[in-house]
Structure 1
Amino acid sequence: MKITVMTSDERFVSLDVDADELVENVKALLEVETQIPLHQQQLLHHGRELPNSHKLNAAGIVDNDLLMLVAAAPPPTSTSGSGGGNEMALNADGSAVNPSAFMSRLKRDPQAMKFLFERNPDIAGAVHSNNVSALQGFLRQVHQQKLDLQRRQQEEIALMNADPFDLDAQKRIEESIRQRNIDENWEAAVEHNPEAFASVIMLYVDMEVNGFPLKAFIDSGAQMTIISRTCAERCGLLRLLDKRYVGVARGVGQTEIVGRIHVAPLKIGDHFYPCSFTVLDQPNPEFIFGLDMLRKHQCSIDLKDNVLRVGGGEIAVPFLQEKDIPRHFHQDEVKPSASTSVLPAPAAAAPQASSDLEAKATRLMALGFDRPSALEALRLCNGNEEQAASYLFGG
């Protein structure tokens, strides 16, 4: 008959044996396949260990059954010295019997230390620094993880051999399969997509507003270009604040709009561009370069070359590295006020008489644009006809 044996490291070994074969003989075959010494093997069926003297059929094993192979740790031995194989002996809880000898033995083996630094840097660090208590703690933790894995594997084997018509057993099997898929997906992500577990650094570039340097947050999800009131004051722009454009900016949170600065010089690289700002009554983020100005100045975010291209690509400004971004900027990124989906409140639009708006839309339509586009451009430019025309012409 055929049996399948699953090892503790999730390998599967298929064997073709006689039904009346002794368990001890099966272990001998497994020693060849797995390199696990026979005396350290524990062969489990339905969570119960099979004695070496039993025959397979007498133990209730049938064709195509699944068994579990667990490698038992060698029994701890008393160590009065630090020589021989006793250097690596472990207690029942996984800790080293002689931690000093254990660390010395590892330090004498460069390959073992290299493996530890790659696979378990915590243990490697404890060995390197001669931290006995930390080493023992990590060894116990690894041992407990191994026991938990063996327990879960035994539970899986028991579920696989459960009554197929037992609804509760089927639900547990389904949950076990689902959790295994999640674990495998996580392991694949750690191996092939490790950056997904790191924090994402937002896009900032160096700019100058009215001659004052600042670090601009590039946000294509923000409808407006935003400057904080404190930043506008530092740049000497509050004297140009138009308070008719008050309102509320809504996104993940909401913030009061205290007005608008219609135009100011913005330096990107070595070039100057006219820029309009919505002023918010909050200190951070101090400056967001939003979609309105990104479109107006034909900007593109080039993540391949890690640059912001402006003016259709005529200049390229590199995005800042993490070390160049002030620490408090990282904290502000998660606040509602720094939302990348800031939308202007209706109150932020400048008051326009209906007839005046219609007249401006008519003049824009005379330039060859349809009515919806003309009205939308006027809305985005807060009724400024010249800016709306420039926007429609792609300037």
Structure 2
Amino acid sequence: MKITVMTSDEQILTLDVDREESVENLKALLEVETKIPLQQQQLLYNGREMRNAEKLGALGVGDGDLVMMVSKASSFRSRESVNEAAFNPDGSAVDPSAFQQQLRGDSNVMTQLFQSDPELAQAILGNDLNKLQDLLRARNLQRSELQRQQEEEMALLYADPFDVDAQRKIEAAIRQKGIDENWAAALEYNPEAFARVVMLYVDMEVNGVPLKAFVDSGAQSTIISRSCAERCGLLRLLDTRYRGIAHGVGQSEIVGRIHVAPIKIGSIFYPCSFTVLDSPNMEFLFGLDMLRKHQCIIDLKENVLRVGGGEVAVPFLAEKDIPTRLLEEERYAKEASSSGAQAKSAAKDSIPAGAPPGGSTDKNSSQGPDFEAKVAKLVELGFGREQVIQALKFFDGNEEQAAGFLFGG
């Protein structure tokens, strides 16, 4: 293992020693390097004097640790310097101000620190002694944890190969090593995976009212909250026949549907249909139905939403431009839509008040030749077979009402 030795004259030495080496042998090595006789050396680790007969490993000295060395024959100023640079058992400096000034005055030490631990180097150059002490304690904990892991690994190496518990620990250590290597590789090659992903928002106007729309291609329907619809002056168009319950991660009440209203994207107006939810936490979600209807392209390379096959391109908002309340909206939007579950629920659970009484969804009803002819006719219009069958069953085989419902959805 490698340890760092700092002398009273601020000389920094890096030595490669064995964990089972005695303190006396370490002093002999330092005598060669510093020309200070072994008998005049005093070594301190974490503020405690190291005795000649003691082993480095027994004292807790680990890889990368710092050991202070002073000469017993040095002047009072040198002894004072040692006391200033001594460490507490938790790794913090006894006198952080003196420790900081001592390191600041050594350009070689600071150069090494900037290369090996830039965060600590910045703390030493800064004015926050509490931050410096916290970093020193953190580094001490890291060293202790590393030492503990190394001791466990050594114990496993000498464990009985036929011991079931030892084999289990070895297997866990190997697995954890693989996880750690994978994590390190991700930090190096895919660091953005650890950052928070900001969802896609664009500026739109709904019935002349500016809004920040949450673009969600995983939601089958475009959703607007009741309060937002009221603010946009659209509640007068609310069709309550389409009320129901939307089931997703959670569930929300569908208060109705607004069949068409103008939205402005860029400088162009487009017709849009909305499912209205009684969900105050979710304002406006631009879903897959309108994305497909208006041939939208989510262009992440240019970071824009292209509408109408590219006739309009509006930029996605940066995080600083999104109100904090809308960032919470993402979670509620998923509860409402559950990546499409909401829209399916709306189709299944929204029973229009004007639907014929006794409307049945029984699989055995209306499945004659006429029913199949109606299915084929509606499928030709571009709807899915299952969707058509559900709509026809929903309206007791009424082809016109089913078609209206499908076109409206």
Relative to the length of structure 1, the TM-score reads 0.72
The residue that corresponds to 2:238 in the other structure is 241
2:24 counterpart of 1:43 = no
Residues 78-93 of structure 1: matches in 2 within 5 Å?
81=77, 86=82, 90-91=87-88, 93=90
Q: Is the 8 A contact 1:42 1:70 kept in 2?
A: no
2:285 counterpart of 1:288 = yes
Q: Aligned partners of 2:276, 2:109: CA distance in 1, in Å? A: 60
Percent identical pairs in the alignment equals 53
Residues 333-372 of structure 1: matches in 2 within 5 Å?
333-335=330-332, 337=335, 339-341=337-339, 342-344=341-343, 345=345, 346-348=348-350, 350=352, 364=378, 372=385
Unaligned runs of 5+ in 1: 1-6, 10-34, 54-67
Query: What displacement does 1:199 show?
Result: 1.5
Q: Aligned partners of 1:197, 1:306: CA distance in 2, in Å? A: 20
Query: What displacement does 1:315 show?
Result: 1.6
Residues 188-207 of structure 1: matches in 2 within 5 Å?
188-207=185-204
2:174 counterpart of 1:184 = no
User: What secondary structure sits across from 2:66 in the alignment?
Assistant: coil
Q: Aligned partners of 1:71, 1:226: CA distance in 2, in Å? A: 58
Residues 383-394 of structure 1: matches in 2 within 5 Å?
383=401, 385=403
Q: Is the 8 A contact 1:247 1:348 kept in 2?
A: yes
Q: Is the 8 A contact 1:257 1:280 kept in 2?
A: yes
Query: What displacement does 1:197 show?
Result: 1.9
1:273 is aligned with what amino acid? Y
Residues 67-216 of structure 1: matches in 2 within 5 Å?
70=63, 73-75=66-68, 81=77, 86=82, 90-91=87-88, 93-108=90-105, 123-124=120-121, 126-216=123-213
Aligned length: 339
Q: Is the 8 A contact 2:247 2:336 kept in 1?
A: no
User: What secondary structure sits across from 1:333 in the alignment?
Assistant: helix
Q: Aligned partners of 2:118, 2:219: CA distance in 1, in Å? A: 42
Query: What displacement does 1:242 show?
Result: 0.3
Q: Aligned partners of 1:71, 1:120: CA distance in 2, in Å? A: 12
CA 1:331 to 1:243, structure 2 compared with 1: closer, same or farther past 3 Å? same
Q: Is the 8 A contact 1:42 1:50 kept in 2?
A: no
Query: What displacement does 1:105 show?
Result: 3.8
The residue that corresponds to 1:258 in the other structure is 255
Query: What displacement does 1:94 show?
Result: 2.6
User: What secondary structure sits across from 1:260 in the alignment?
Assistant: strand
Query: What displacement does 1:347 show?
Result: 2.4
1:348 is aligned with what amino acid? S
Query: What displacement does 1:272 show?
Result: 1.1
User: What secondary structure sits across from 1:239 in the alignment?
Assistant: helix
Greater Cα shift, 139-148 or 339-348: 339-348
2:388 counterpart of 1:375 = yes
Residues 283-322 of structure 1: matches in 2 within 5 Å?
283-322=280-319
Q: Aligned partners of 1:300, 1:363: CA distance in 2, in Å? A: 30
User: What secondary structure sits across from 1:137 in the alignment?
Assistant: helix
User: What secondary structure sits across from 2:259 in the alignment?
Assistant: strand
User: What secondary structure sits across from 2:161 in the alignment?
Assistant: coil
1:347 is aligned with what amino acid? D
Query: What displacement does 1:183 show?
Result: 1.9
CA 1:338 to 1:389, structure 2 compared with 1: closer, same or farther past 3 Å? closer
Q: Is the 8 A contact 2:2 2:14 kept in 1?
A: no
The residue that corresponds to 2:323 in the other structure is 326
The residue that corresponds to 2:49 in the other structure is none
CA 1:43 to 1:114, structure 2 compared with 1: closer, same or farther past 3 Å? closer
Q: Aligned partners of 1:313, 1:162: CA distance in 2, in Å? A: 67
Q: Aligned partners of 1:296, 1:326: CA distance in 2, in Å? A: 28
User: Residue deviations 1:299-355, cap 9 Å, x none?
Assistant: 121111111111112221110000110011112222354554242321225465689
2:199 is aligned with what amino acid? M
CA 1:268 to 1:196, structure 2 compared with 1: closer, same or farther past 3 Å? same
Unaligned runs of 5+ in 2: 4-12, 27-60, 360-365, 395-399
Q: Please, what is the CA RMSD of the aligned residues?
A: 4.0
Greater Cα shift, 183-192 or 173-182: 183-192
Moved over 6 A (4+): 48-53, 82-85, 354-360, 376-380
1:244 is aligned with what amino acid? R
Q: Is the 8 A contact 1:332 1:338 kept in 2?
A: no
Relative to the length of structure 2, the TM-score reads 0.69
User: Residue deviations 1:11-61, cap 9 Å, x none?
Assistant: xxxxxxxxxxxxxxxxxxxxxxxx8426xx2335xxx989969xxxxxxxx
